[in-house]
Amino acid sequence: MAKSNYVPLFETKQVKGRVVFRCIAASIFLGICFIVMYRVMFFPVGGKAERWVWIGQFLSELWFCFYWFLTTVSRWNSVYRLPYIQRLSQRFEKELPGIDIFVCTADPLIEPPSMVVNTVLSVMAYDYPPEKLSIYLSDDGGSDLTFYAMLEAANFSKTWLPFCKKFRVEPTSPEAYFRTASEPLNDADNWLSVKVILIFV
Note whether residue 59 is domain-resident: yes
Model pLDDT, residue 118 = 92
pLDDT band at 30 (very low <50, low <70, confident <90, very high): very high
Please tell me whether residues 115 and 182 are part of one structural domain.
yes
107 a known binding residue?
Answer: no
pLDDT band at 167 (very low <50, low <70, confident <90, very high): confident
Domain span holding position 195: 97-200
Note whether residue 63 is domain-resident: yes
Model pLDDT, residue 1 = 42
Longest dimension (CA), the chain: 89
Question: How does pLDDT run across 113-143, given as a tens digit for each residue?
Answer: 999 999 999 999 988 888 888 999 999 888 8
Please tell me whether residues 70 and 104 are part of one structural domain.
no
Where do the DSSP E strands lie in the chain?
10-14, 79-83, 99-105, 133-139
Please tell me whether residues 127 and 166 are part of one structural domain.
yes
Note whether residue 72 is domain-resident: yes
Question: How does pLDDT run across 48-103, given as a tens digit for each residue?
Answer: 788 888 888 889 999 999 999 999 988 888 888 888 877 777 777 677 788 999 99
Q: In total, how many domains does the chain have?
A: 2
Please tell me whether residues 110 and 192 are part of one structural domain.
yes
Mean pLDDT of the chain: 83
Please tell me whether residues 114 and 190 are part of one structural domain.
yes
93 a known binding residue?
Answer: no
Please tell me whether residues 186 and 116 are part of one structural domain.
yes
Note whether residue 86 is domain-resident: no
Q: Which residue has the higher pLDDT, 149 or 46?
A: 149
Note whether residue 108 is domain-resident: yes
Please tell me whether residues 122 and 168 are part of one structural domain.
yes
Note whether residue 110 is domain-resident: yes
